[in-house]
Structure 1
Amino acid sequence: MNAPTLEKRKIETQHMTLVSDINAGRETLSRLIHQSRHCVVFTGAGMSTESGIPDFRSPGGIWSRMDPIEFDEFVSDESTRLEDWRRRFEMNEQFSAADPNSGHHAIATLVGRGKVAAVITQNIDGLHQRAGCPSEIVIELHGNATFGACLNCGARHELDEVRAIIARSGLSPRCDSCGGLVKSAVINFGQAMPVEAMERALDLAETCDLFVVAGSSLAVQPAASLPLIASRQGAHLVIINRDPTPLDDAAEYVLRGNIGEFLEDIA
């Protein structure tokens, strides 16, 4: 007998079910993923904190110790560009020292088995790719801090190359291809969101039948609107997070606890 498929729910008032028991949460999530034809996973900072990477906005995070650098400041001031690169090198040492956790590996396994169609992430650390998710199915809404890109032509520049240029010349790097400014491929405050990534994410939110949020506070727009869009289009919405989020009442299930514990046995 074929397994039942997950139909899009009718758009109607529903009651959120809060699940704190790990086994019950695993059973619920496993059933929904197994029955889904088009599951999308959306990850936030909580996914990376389980690998030891601090949340930017939490106490002890980078923004509690220093003000973020605005995009316009980067473009207009050489000393600001050098400071931005100093921070990126420091940040990537932390990223390199971290390993993908059980949640990352579980998602990668589900992707490999065709049970997850795409991973939309707010994270900039590249841990999904290191866990085995193909780069083409990881949609990075806030960019990627593990390499640089020309602001003019988009050419990729590796961080070791950028570090060597700064050490040799004392100046921020310029693109070998067009001479444009090179910046870490992460999205700074005041910088436009990547159009293609947002369009892909919106399309996935509108067409999926299951939208699983893992580790996002759902407080940063426009990315935080995606789960609500999915729910309003009839997708089943599951939120996995240690703390309450503003969209908990819109979810069908809220799994309260560590992401890795809920995900690790499902794959």
Structure 2
Amino acid sequence: MPATSPAPGLAAFIARHRRLLVLTGAGCSTDSGIPDYRDADGQWKRTPPVDYRAFMAEPATRQRYWARSLLGWPRIGLARPNATHHALAALEAEGRVELLLTQNVDGLHQRAGSRTVIDLHGRLDAVCCMGCQARSTREHLQQRLRQANPGWEVRQAGTAPDGDADLDTDFSGFQVPACERCGGILKPDVVFFGENVPRARVEAVHAHLRQADAVLVVGSSLMVYSGFRFVQAAARAGLPVAAINLGRTRADDLLELKIHAPCAQALAFLLPGGH
């Protein structure tokens, strides 16, 4: 790889460590047109995402969620990887990545060619029945949502994070399809706010962390504990941690190196022709 980088120290950090655990967040996908949740101080830019308990307990919450998702999903489904995703895929292709752990649910790392990926918070392109656990694609549910709610898909709404849409209206007439197998509640196969990451997934990350020799955080404020805990574990194990993020992170006092720059700019040196 080239010896210089627009982010001083980053190329040297990567060159020193042969088995990186890369932890990514929303800042990786903003260049793909997917908004993030937090500002440079790590505070919410908007209302926090839907709460798991409310989604499961309240039909009105499910109506609001799926109505907005009907409008927001196409932007996720059509999103394409950007230079950040491609740079990290190139780093893996060089044999330098022990694991790419992403907090994002958009699947863009895999579309860019990354293979050793754990989707910490799941994937938005899959749907799971909370009754019988049957799985289906989000695109199939999109067709069912359109058929059950003619006219809704042409409504105008602003782009929001993670397949949501900025729409405030009367959702009481919105029809939410049930599981075709058992009639149960359908939920995107993602970890909602207030829901726990599956234990087996957490244990798999820790197993990779034991094989890593450093951690690189890309585009995350680490304000959500589900990701921050792995940086804490790395620090306890004596592993060096570097971060690329515009704004503060929850782990600033644990970092060996902090790069205040857009992710794509900081990682450009990993791509062909990068300098």
**Does the alignment reach a TM-score above 0.5?**
yes
> Unaligned 5+ residue runs, structure 1?
1-20
Task: Within 5 Å, give how 1:151-162 maps onto structure 2.
Answer: 151-162=130-141
Instruction: Name 1:220's counterpart in structure 2.
Output: 224
- The question of whether the paired residues in 1 share the 8 Å contact of 2:37 and 2:46 is answered with no
Residue 185 of structure 1, aligned match among 170, 185, 189: 189
- The question of whether the paired residues in 2 share the 8 Å contact of 1:45 and 1:122 is answered with yes
Instruction: Name 2:37's counterpart in structure 1.
Output: 56
The amino acid across from 2:95 in the alignment is G
Shift of 1:178: 4.1
Q: Does 1:142 align with 2:121?
A: yes
The amino acid across from 1:146 in the alignment is D
The amino acid across from 2:12 in the alignment is T
SS at match of 1:85: helix
Q: For residues 146-190 of structure 1, what are the alpha-carbon distances to aligned partners after superposition, in whole Å with 9 as ceiling and x for unaligned? A: 221122343321223212323444642333344432111122222
The amino acid across from 2:32 in the alignment is S
Shift of 1:253: 1.5
- The question of whether the paired residues in 2 share the 8 Å contact of 1:30 and 1:266 is answered with no
Shift of 1:67: 5.4
Q: For residues 5-33 of structure 1, what are the alpha-carbon distances to aligned partners after superposition, in whole Å with 9 as ceiling and x for unaligned? A: xxxxxxxxxxxxxxxx7252343234224
In 2 relative to 1, CA 102–164 (structure 1 residues): closer, same or farther, beyond 3 Å?
A: closer
SS at match of 2:201: helix
Q: For residues 118-169 of structure 1, what are the alpha-carbon distances to aligned partners after superposition, in whole Å with 9 as ceiling and x for unaligned? A: 11111111111111123xx221222222221122343321223212323444
- What is the CA–CA distance in structure 1 between the aligned matches of 2:223 and 2:49, rounded to whole Å? 17
SS at match of 1:125: coil
Shift of 1:69: 2.4
Instruction: Name 1:31's counterpart in structure 2.
Output: 15
In 2 relative to 1, CA 75–205 (structure 1 residues): closer, same or farther, beyond 3 Å?
A: same
Identity %: 33
- What is the CA–CA distance in structure 2 between the aligned matches of 1:165 and 1:51, rounded to whole Å? 27
Instruction: Name 2:259's counterpart in structure 1.
Output: 255
The amino acid across from 2:89 in the alignment is A
- The question of whether the paired residues in 1 share the 8 Å contact of 2:28 and 2:263 is answered with yes
SS at match of 1:197: helix
Task: Within 5 Å, give how 1:157-236 maps onto structure 2.
Answer: 157-169=136-148, 171-236=175-240
Aligned residues: 239
Residue 91 of structure 1, aligned match among 59, 72, 81: 72
Q: For residues 198-256 of structure 1, what are the alpha-carbon distances to aligned partners after superposition, in whole Å with 9 as ceiling and x for unaligned? A: 22122223331111111110111132121121122122211111212232221221122
In 2 relative to 1, CA 178–53 (structure 1 residues): closer, same or farther, beyond 3 Å?
A: same
- What is the CA–CA distance in structure 1 between the aligned matches of 2:97 and 2:48, rounded to whole Å? 37
- The question of whether the paired residues in 2 share the 8 Å contact of 1:124 and 1:143 is answered with yes
The farther-off stretch of 86-95 and 63-72 is 63-72
- The question of whether the paired residues in 2 share the 8 Å contact of 1:32 and 1:210 is answered with no
Instruction: Name 2:63's counterpart in structure 1.
Output: 82
- The question of whether the paired residues in 1 share the 8 Å contact of 2:6 and 2:269 is answered with no
- Which consecutive aligned stretches of 4+ in structure 1 deviate over 6 angstroms post-superposition? none
SS at match of 1:264: helix
Q: For residues 79-133 of structure 1, what are the alpha-carbon distances to aligned partners after superposition, in whole Å with 9 as ceiling and x for unaligned? A: 3212211222333222234321111101112223321121111111111111112
**RMSD of aligned residue pairs (Cα, Å):** 2.4
In 2 relative to 1, CA 159–141 (structure 1 residues): closer, same or farther, beyond 3 Å?
A: same
